[in-house]
Amino acid sequence: MPADTALLADIQLFELLDDQERGALAAQLDHDRFPAGHQLFKLGDPGDALYIVQSGEVEIFFKNDTGERIVLETARAGDMIGELSLLDNGPRSASALAITPVDLLRLDRDDLERFLHMCPSATLDLLAAMSRRLRQNVTLLRHTATRNVNTEMADQRTVVQKAADWIAAFSGSIPFLLLHVLIFAVWIILNLGAMPFLPIFDPYPFGLLTMAVSLEAIVLSVFVLLSQNRQVAKDRIRSDVEYDVNLKAELEIAHLHEKLDDLQAEMLARLSTLERHAVNGASAVPPANGATR
C-alpha cells in the first residue's frame, strides 16, 4: 500500500507517525467509492469511521434551526473528514455529501484500536497532532468575530485618507466655525474702509472672498466625500462583524440545545437502567421467614 502510506504522510493527524507506523495503519484502511450525490453520513449519526479523500470532493455542511444550509468545508484529495466523532465516539457534528464521484479510504474505530495496540507509541503522535489542530481551531475562533473595525480600517489608511479623515473631522467642529467667523469678520471690516490706514484689496460686494469661499467649499466637499466613503466601508465591515457575532451566538445556542438533548437522553437511559435493576432486584429477593408457601 505505498500510495496509501504516502497519502497518510500528508494528513495532519498522521504526519508525525514514522514510516513503519504509517505502513501498519495503511494496512487497516478500507477503500470506498461513492457516486456524486451520495451522503456519507448525516448530522447526529454514530461516528464509527473517519474518511480520507483520495479523489473527488465532499461537502461538509449542516442546517441551522431556521433551515439554512451552512457549508463548513469542501474536502478534496488529501483531506480528512469525520475524525472528531471517531476519536471521541460521539455523534456526527455535521453531514457529508459527495458532490462529485469520490474515492475514499475508511478507517473504522476497531481498526484504529488494533493499530494502536500494535503501535502504542503512535498514540502520543496522534495526540500531538490533534492538539495542534485544536490550537489552530481555537485561534480561528478567537478571531472569528472579535475584529476591531476602527483598528482594522486605520491600519489600511493612506496619507490622503488620513488627511481626509482629519479635515472632515475638523470641518465639523466648533473651532472651524469660529475660525471662519473671525476670518470673514476681519476681511469684511478691512474692505469696508473701517481702517483708513490699511489698503482695501476686495471692495464690496467682496468678489474675492466669494471666490475663495467657493474654492474652499469645493475642496472641502471632496475630502468630506472621501471620508464618508471610508465610513461606508467601515459600516460594511461592522455589519460583517455583527453578522459573525450573531451567527456564532446562534451556533453556540444550537450546540447547547444539542448538549441538553444528549444529557436528557442519557439521564433517561440511566433512569431506565436503574428501574430495570430495581425491578429485577425486587423480584429476586427470597420470601421472608413465615411467609405463605
Cα four-point dihedral sign 283, 287, 291, 292: positive
The answer on pLDDT for 169 being more than 80 is yes
CA-angle at 72, arms to 90 and 64, nearest 5°: 75
Beta sheet of 39-41, edge-to-edge order: 39-41, 95-98, 58-63, 69-75
User: pLDDT tens digit string along 91-119?
Assistant: 887 889 999 999 998 888 887 777 777 77
Phi, psi of 163 (to 5 degrees): -65, -40
Domain ranges of the chain: 2-142, 149-275
Mean pLDDT value of segment 204-220 = 87
Maximum pairwise Cα distance, the chain = 138
Grid coordinates given for 166: 482629519
User: pLDDT tens digit string along 118-167?
Assistant: 777 767 766 776 666 666 556 655 554 455 555 555 556 778 878 888 88
The beta strands (E) that lie in 168-269 are given as: none
CATH code of the domain occupying 2-142: 2.60.120.10
Q: What share of the chain is helix, strand, coil (3-state, %, to 5)?
A: 55, 15, 30
Whole-model pTM? 0.44
The answer on pLDDT for 2 being more than 60 is no
- 124: Cα separation from own chain's centroid: 29
User: pLDDT tens digit string along 244-260?
Assistant: 777 777 777 877 777 78
- Cβ-in-10-Å burial (0-12, 13-18, 19+) of 159 comes to exposed
The answer on pLDDT for 274 being more than 90 is no
User: pLDDT tens digit string along 39-68?
Assistant: 888 888 887 888 888 889 999 887 765 566
User: How many residues are given for the chain?
Assistant: 293
* pLDDT given at position 293: 43
